[in-house]
Structure 1
Amino acid sequence: MTVYVDNMRASFGRMKMCHMIADTTEELLAMADRIGVQRKWLQKAGRHDEHFDIALSKRKLAVEAGAVEVSMMDLGRILRARRPDRSEA
């Protein structure tokens, strides 16, 4: 099980933000708790692309806590691989 943070640097006011995802919801929420990100900021909960947008200061804490640094392209590949197979619908 792994938590991932990408290298995005999107502006949000005076902050720079990136994405944080994990292999499981439980692991994602545990990391959010550990680095001080409120659970209410979870985006797309329960979907294959659930994530947090986190400030770079929180990204640093996540990496120190064991999160894996990936590129935005790599994060996109991870999320696409999780996408439900639409042919089964």
Structure 2
Amino acid sequence: MTVYVDDMQRPARVGRLNAVWSHLLADTDDELHAFAAKLGLRRSWHQKPGTPISHYDVTEPKRQLALKLGAVPIGYMSRESMDLIRQKRAQMIVEKVARHDAERAADAAEVSDV
């Protein structure tokens, strides 16, 4: 499992904070949340939960700290970042199919018990 930080570096104002922002991403949301906690990010700042583009927005100082803590640099909208999104989307589909199959098996077991 890997945590990534992109180089979007988009200027934006959030509340009173005028900063340059990038994204913190990971292979899984659990890993993303654990790493975000190391950076002092609040769970409520999580963006797009449960989707392939789940992430935290990070300021440049937090981006630099993430890199020091082992996050892998990745280009914004790069081939690598698009591959990550595709892989996460594929994994979500696999998990959804597995849940569906398990539900059908449980339903079939209930019917055979009757």
What interval of TM-score do these two structures reach, taking the shorter chain for normalisation? 0.7 to 0.9
> Higher relative contact order by CA 8 Å / sep ≥ 6: 1 or 2?
1
User: Taking every aligned residue pair, what percent have the same amino acid on both sides?
Assistant: 37
- The alpha carbon displacement at 1:83 in A equals 2.1
**1:62 CA drift (Å):** 0.7
Greater Cα radius of gyration, structure 1 or 2: 2
Q: 1:63 aligns with which of 49, 64, 67?
A: 67
TM-score of the pair, normalised by structure 2: 0.69
CA distance in 1, matches of 2:46, 2:11: 18
Which residue number corresponds to residue 78 of structure 1?
84
Query: Is the contact between residue 27 and residue 84 of structure 2 (CA under 8 Å) also seen in structure 1?
Result: no
TM score, norm. by length of structure 1: 0.87
Count of residues paired in the alignment: 86
**What's the CA shift string for 1:57-79, capped at 9, x where partnerless?**
11111111110001111223311
* Ranges in structure 1 where 5+ consecutive residues have no aligned partner: none
Q: In the alignment, what sits opposite 2:6?
A: 6
**1:80: Cα distance to partner?**
2.7
